Amino acid sequence: MSKILGFATFDVRFPTSRTNDGSDAMNRSPDYASAYVIVRTDAQDGLAGHGFVFTIGRGNEVQIAAIRALEPFLAGRDVDEVLGDLGGLSRELVGDSQLRWLGPERGVMHMAIGAVLNACWDMAARRAGKPLWRLLAELSPQEVVDLIDFRYLADVLTPADALALLERGSEGREQRAAALERDGYPAYTTAPGWLGYDDDRLEKLCAQAVHAGFELVKIKVGGRLEDDLRRCAIARQTIGDAIGLALDANQVWDVPTAISWIGALARFDPAWIEEPTSPDDILGTAAIRGAIQPVRVAVGEHVANRVIFKQLLQAQAIDIVQIDACRVAGVNENLANLLLAAKFGVPVCPHAGGVGLCELVQHLAMFDYVALSGTTQERRIEWIDHLHEHFVAPAVVLDGRYRAPLTAGASTEMHHESLAAFSYPGGAAWLSDRVLG
């Protein structure tokens, strides 16, 4: 009978703004950061769970405070009881009436719940001796349904609908798990296209991306139209017509601006336009999509919860669902998001990058392939080869494909040395001034 002792939290920040890594039209100067939590137990074998919220610098301490506010819900509880009903824990944390006022179901408090639930999922997978994707894929359809909070979904997705989708998805899952371990899962790369990179670097990185086996490259747009036209031309010329070129505006436009701007970029045959406007603007996104067809629309990394995803799909506002591992209430709510996408037959291309987002979200996409959608067609996980060295079991991309993780857990654990060196503001990386450039 092991007990949860409590949380250890770490405000970890990387000074990425010094090199323009991660710069886009909305986020010109991010310091990639992690509000990192270890759920500690008194188990003899040292069992613990690791989770985090990805942020981009300032305010990471607010995210830490929100995670700490959840410790009283877990501390002292029996490990078996908690891990045996993670659906119940999800509903308890999301439904706490006092904390709910701080969202509801959006922003700092909701992401904190996600970090804690993800840490518990990491713990569950470690204890089961399986990578998270396999743990999830081996659950029965009913067990998956029990993990989900269906509140506010009844007009579109009932538990019975979900059960039917999962039963259909479970056919052939052993073969797909084997195929996944053999062939991996398709990736695309955003590494070339940060807005702060100059044209030479863009061209060089595009060429490298093709050489590395990627079939889709994404670049940032939305700063100045003349820059976008020049940069898109460089990218398209470098990668050729056979490679996909996705564009990402990171929410900088309003509806009329998005329509005219994308119209000007359509000549480069974009694979999609990502976040053309506010992630809360379902009707605006639908209007944009209607006006720019056949250019496809992808949204999701800042979608607050399943209720917004539900409507984006109802309104036919998006062609691609981009789940994010840390924005919503953890694995549980992302299962709902995957089911919503499956219900509407819309492909999921997860958002990743940042700190640890590739590591964590790969498990969800792989679960989707093995046990729900049953396909990788039109599906790719974002990949940026950055900061993975800080993780104990880093995500691996070879020949443009994520390798299936084989290590037990959710791939969320960071090296102790990294937690120490990049702790803000006391870590060596911040006290010196020499790191990363």
State the residues that interact with a second copy by CB under 8 A.
Answer: 26-31, 55-59, 61-63, 65-66, 69, 96-112, 151-155, 251, 254-257, 277-284, 287, 302, 304-305, 307-308, 310-311, 314-315
Q: Which residue lies nearer to a second copy by CB, 5 or 150?
A: 150
CB 272 within 8 A of CB 246: yes
**CB-hemisphere CA count at 13 Å for 234?**
21
Is 388 an active-site residue? no
Q: How far is the CB of 276 from a second copy (least distance, A)?
A: 11
| DSSP-derived secondary structure for 291-342 | HHTTS-EEE-TT--SHHHHHHHHHTT--SEE---TTTSSHHHHHHHHHHHHH
Q: How far is the CB of 356 from a second copy (least distance, A)?
A: 15
Q: Which residue lies nearer to a second copy by CB, 44 or 97?
A: 97
Is 50 an active-site residue? no
CB 6 within 8 A of CB 74: yes
Q: How far is the CB of 288 from a second copy (least distance, A)?
A: 9
Q: How far is the CB of 36 from a second copy (least distance, A)?
A: 16
For residue 210, list its beta bridge partners.
Answer: none
CB 32 within 8 A of CB 56: yes
Residue 244 has which token pair? 């996909």
Give CA separation, 130 vs 80, 121, 275, in Å: 17, 11, 34
Q: What is the amino acid identity at position 164?
A: A
Backbone angles phi, psi at 110, to 5 degrees: -70, -40
Helix (H) or strand (E) holding 17: none
Of the candidates 50, 110, 218, 351, the residue annotated as catalytic is 351
Q: How far is the CB of 309 from a second copy (least distance, A)?
A: 10
Helix (H) or strand (E) holding 274: strand 273-274
Q: Which residue lies nearer to a second copy by CB, 58 or 415?
A: 58
> Is 30 in a helix, a strand, or coil?
coil
Of the candidates 130, 220, 363, 386, the residue annotated as catalytic is 220
Contacts of range 252-258, beta carbons closer than 8 Å, 24 or more positions apart = 252/25, 252/26, 252/222, 253/222, 253/277, 254/284, 255/281, 255/284, 255/287, 255/288, 258/288, 258/292
> Is 218 in a helix, a strand, or coil?
strand
Q: How far is the CB of 254 from a second copy (least distance, A)?
A: 4
CB 259 within 8 A of CB 285: no
Euclidean distance between CA atoms 323 and 301, whole angstroms:
6
Q: How far is the CB of 114 from a second copy (least distance, A)?
A: 13
Q: Which residue lies nearer to a second copy by CB, 109 or 117?
A: 109
So which residues are the catalytic ones? 220, 351
